[in-house]
């Protein structure tokens, strides 16, 4: 979809320094303004989806950088793309679209490099309210970053230099005369959309636009006019005079994450976000970007008017940069690992849907989640083994809260007892909850994630019993082994959709599961006694569910496949690979109950 298809888009031309810029506005002009600046070799259409979402609440402005899209190019090209001139352009656009009010700037790639200049030079002071940067460092900061590493070359710093040096191969290429222009106007320009689809997983469509070969040829001067001069003599006073939100895609093949290590010293008010994606996030993750941009801009709209400043509203839990504002659904959230996981995500600033068949427990989890940092939390009462109820839940969640970013299929029940004592009914029940519950979750919410096409993550709670056979837990272990295998198969399938799948194998954790475990082949009194006894053993072991929750968040951040948590789970996993015979021997032992 191109900009022309956007309802209510208004195009105008702004004259500045002998050229004309093509500016497009969306949304009501009376609202606060967000200006989106595109990168190389893009045009403003790279923002289409982000702009459409932002336009519901904001006055959104896009423009083609000089020499790109429908804007005219400077003559001669050499010397026409300096950051000073680009700042002139920006000020001209801002004066035209929002003369009396500072604007929120968002930049991607070279748009971000430019916007760093806007955010750090004095002549734009008072014209910018906030800046969201993605995949484009300040050339001045970059220059200092290199200088520091050259001046004190520890092995780690040399590694960082060489790493970034290798990632910047295209910068050297673009400094060669004429050749890049020929390539872009020739074969590269034709192949570029295909390359983006294949390497970057940018969804196919009518982007890039037809002007790409010219844009790319002109844009080479962005590099030639600025990179060498700035890196050689970086400005010493490149401090940001506005709050900055830094969004770092972790899979960016052009920029390493370490580039931003020292950013706090340049930016007094910095909010960090990380996104498991490649370079072209405006195309591949528009929903997440739109929500972060809007949230940050809104916080900085409120701040000068006596509202709460950005810093204090930012969540402080572990991985807050990654999960802030995301939608997380946890099943079995009324207690134990599920509840602890919901709380950990809440502390990271995620929105939480707490699902359990225990309505009171789920409501309690949602309430406390809100109190510790979740911007929103809801409770849903569902039995995960009930296919229709799960379908209804999936529809409701998508309609009311949005598409789930992280799904944690955690709900499960215990069942102990020898195979001969386990009835068909017992089998059905444990498989219905432990396996079918996970299947329903993955099927329904996984489908929504895949259809949205903007990545996501699924965590399935398996168990150490998934790879540790035992004569005492045949049905439970079977259900959990199935969950483990399901997770690994799904991981293979979903990889191409950028959806990660992890299986968590906690081990012996102090939760309520032992108090509700069914012991096959026992009468009520015996069962009660066994429940008490196992609960006591688990209590003595006393491994807290909070640590499992930490492991779950870490697994999502690192996209780990199989995650044993307790030491005994690690040991069993290790043995299952090194010496499965030993585990089979252990499996014959009668449990001490």
Partner 1 sequence: MASRVNDERAPELKGFRDVQRLAYACAEAVAARLKPGVTERDAARMQREWLRERGVRDWFHLPFAWFGDRTAFTGFKVPLQFFPTNRQLEPGMPFILDMAPVYRGFTADIGYSGCLGLHPLHDRLLADLEVHRELILREVRERRPLREIYEDVERLMIRQGYANRHRAYPFGVIAHKVDRVAERRWSPHVFGFGTQSLKGLLSDAVHGHRDGWSPLWSPYRFSDHPPQPGLWAVEPHLGFRGTGAKFEEILVVTDSRDPEQSAFWLDDDLPHVRRWAEERVAA
CB of 362 to partner 1, least distance (A): 11
Give the length of the chain: 593
CB of 306 to partner 1, least distance (A): 17
CB of 364 to partner 1, least distance (A): 5
Token pair listed for 253: 């093949």
CB of 524 to partner 1, least distance (A): 19
Distance, CA of 468 to CA of 503 (rounded, Å): 15
CB of 388 to partner 1, least distance (A): 29
Between residues 247 and 549, which has the closer beta carbon with respect to partner 1? 549
Between residues 344 and 430, which has the closer beta carbon with respect to partner 1? 344
Between residues 38 and 319, which has the closer beta carbon with respect to partner 1? 319
Give the DSSP H or E segment for 495. none
Distance, CA of 147 to CA of 231 (rounded, Å): 9
Write b or e for each residue in 503-530: b if 16 or more Cβ atoms lie within 10 A of its Cβ, otherwise e. Answer: bbbbbbbbbbbbeebbbbebeeeebeeb
Distance, CA of 116 to CA of 234 (rounded, Å): 13
Between residues 188 and 372, which has the closer beta carbon with respect to partner 1? 372
What is the CB neighbour count within 10 angstroms for residue 81?
Answer: 25
Of 63, 476, 538, 543, the catalytic one is: 476
CB of 473 to partner 1, least distance (A): 24
Give the SS3 label for residue 554. Answer: helix
Token pair listed for 156: 């780690």
What is the CB neighbour count within 10 angstroms for residue 172?
Answer: 11
Between residues 88 and 358, which has the closer beta carbon with respect to partner 1? 358
CB of 271 to partner 1, least distance (A): 20
Interacting residues toward partner 1 by CB under 8 A: 335, 339, 343, 347, 361, 364-365, 367-368, 371-372, 512
Distance, CA of 102 to CA of 524 (rounded, Å): 71
Distance, CA of 324 to CA of 317 (rounded, Å): 10
Give the DSSP H or E segment for 215. helix 212-232
Distance, CA of 534 to CA of 216 (rounded, Å): 67
DSSP for 229-272, written as a single string: HHHHS--TT---SS-EEEEEETT-SSS-GGGGTTGGGT-SSEEE
Among the listed residues 177, 207, 179, the one whose alpha carbon sits nearest the alpha carbon of residue 192: 207
If 0-12 CB within 10 Å is exposed, 13-18 middle and 19+ buried, where does residue 372 land?
Answer: middle
* 476 carries an active-site annotation: yes
CB of 328 to partner 1, least distance (A): 17
Site of tokens 């993550």: 457
Give the SS3 label for residue 376. Answer: coil
Give me the sign of the Cα torsion angle 116, 117, 118, 119. positive
Between residues 50 and 362, which has the closer beta carbon with respect to partner 1? 362
Distance, CA of 98 to CA of 32 (rounded, Å): 8
CB of 368 to partner 1, least distance (A): 5
Between residues 193 and 375, which has the closer beta carbon with respect to partner 1? 375
Percent composition of the chain: helix, strand, coil (DSSP 3-state, to 5): 55, 15, 30
Between residues 123 and 532, which has the closer beta carbon with respect to partner 1? 532
Between residues 256 and 512, which has the closer beta carbon with respect to partner 1? 512
Phi, psi of 18 (to 5 degrees): 85, 0
Could you list the active site residues?
476
């Amino acid at each position: 979809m191109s900009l022309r298809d956007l309802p209510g888009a208004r195009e105008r031309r702004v004259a500045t320094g002998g050229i004309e810029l093509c500016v497009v506005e969306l949304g009501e002009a009376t609202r606060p303004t967000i200006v989106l600046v595109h990168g190389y070799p893009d045009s403003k259409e790279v923002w289409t989806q982000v702009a459409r979402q932002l336009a519901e609440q904001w006055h959104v402005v896009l423009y083609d950088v000089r020499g790109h899209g429908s804007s005219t190019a400077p003559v001669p090209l050499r010397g026409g793309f300096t950051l000073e001139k680009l700042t002139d352009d920006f000020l001209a656009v801002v004066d035209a679209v929002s003369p009396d009010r500072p604007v929120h700037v968002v930049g991607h790639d070279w748009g971000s490099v430019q916007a760093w200049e806007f955010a750090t030079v004095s002549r734009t002071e008072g014209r910018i309210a906030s800046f969201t940067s993605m995949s484009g460092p300040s050339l001045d900061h970059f220059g200092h970053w290199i200088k520091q590493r050259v001046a004190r070359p520890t092995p780690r710093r040399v590694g960082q230099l060489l790493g970034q040096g290798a990632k910047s191969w295209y910068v050297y290429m673009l400094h060669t005369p004429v050749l890049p222009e020929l390539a872009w106007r020739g074969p590269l320009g034709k192949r570029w959309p295909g390359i983006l689809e294949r390497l970057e997983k940018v969804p196919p469509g009518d982007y890039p636009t037809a002007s790409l070969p010219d844009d790319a040829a002109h844009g080479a001067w962005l590099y030639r006019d600025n990179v060498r001069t700035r890196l050689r003599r970086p400005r010493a006073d490149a401090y940001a005079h506005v709050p900055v939100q830094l969004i770092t895609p972790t899979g960016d093949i052009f920029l390493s994450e370490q580039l931003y290590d020292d950013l706090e010293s340049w930016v007094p008010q910095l909010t960090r976000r990380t996104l498991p994606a490649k370079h072209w996030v405006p195309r591949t993750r528009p929903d997440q970007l739109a929500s972060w941009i809007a949230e940050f801009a809104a916080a900085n709209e409120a701040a000068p008017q006596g509202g709460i400043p950005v810093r204090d509203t930012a969540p402080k839990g572990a991985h807050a940069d990654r999960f802030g504002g995301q939608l997380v659904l946890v099943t079995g959230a009324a207690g134990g690992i599920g509840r602890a996981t919901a709380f950990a995500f809440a502390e990271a600033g995620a929105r939480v849907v707490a699902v359990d068949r225990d309505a009171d427990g789920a409501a309690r989890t949602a309430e406390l989640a809100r109190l510790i940092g979740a911007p929103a939390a809801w409770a849903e009462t569902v039995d995960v083994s009930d296919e229709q109820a799960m379908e209804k839940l999936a529809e409701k969640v998508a309609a009311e809260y949005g598409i789930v970013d992280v799904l944690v299929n955690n709900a499960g029940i215990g069942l102990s007892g020898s195979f001969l004592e386990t009835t068909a009914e017992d089998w059905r029940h444990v498989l219905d909850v432990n396996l079918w519950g996970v299947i329903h979750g993955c099927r329904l919410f996984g489908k929504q994630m895949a259809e949205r096409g903007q990545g996501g993550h699924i965590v399935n709670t398996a168990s150490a019993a998934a790879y540790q056979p035992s004569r005492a837990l045949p049905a439970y272990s079977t259900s959990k082994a199935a969950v483990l295998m399901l997770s690994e198969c799904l991981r293979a399938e979903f990889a191409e959709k950028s959806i990660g799948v992890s299986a968590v194998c906690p081990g012996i954790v102090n939760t309520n599961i032992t108090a509700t475990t069914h012991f096959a082949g026992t009468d009520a009194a015996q069962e009660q006694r066994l429940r008490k006894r196992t609960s006591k053993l688990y209590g003595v072991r006393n491994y807290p569910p909070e640590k499992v929750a930490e492991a779950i968040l870490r697994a999502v951040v690192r996209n780990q496949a199989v995650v044993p948590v307790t030491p005994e789970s690690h040991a069993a996993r290790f043995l299952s690979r090194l010496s499965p015979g030993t585990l089979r021997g252990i499996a014959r032992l009668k449990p001490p109950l």
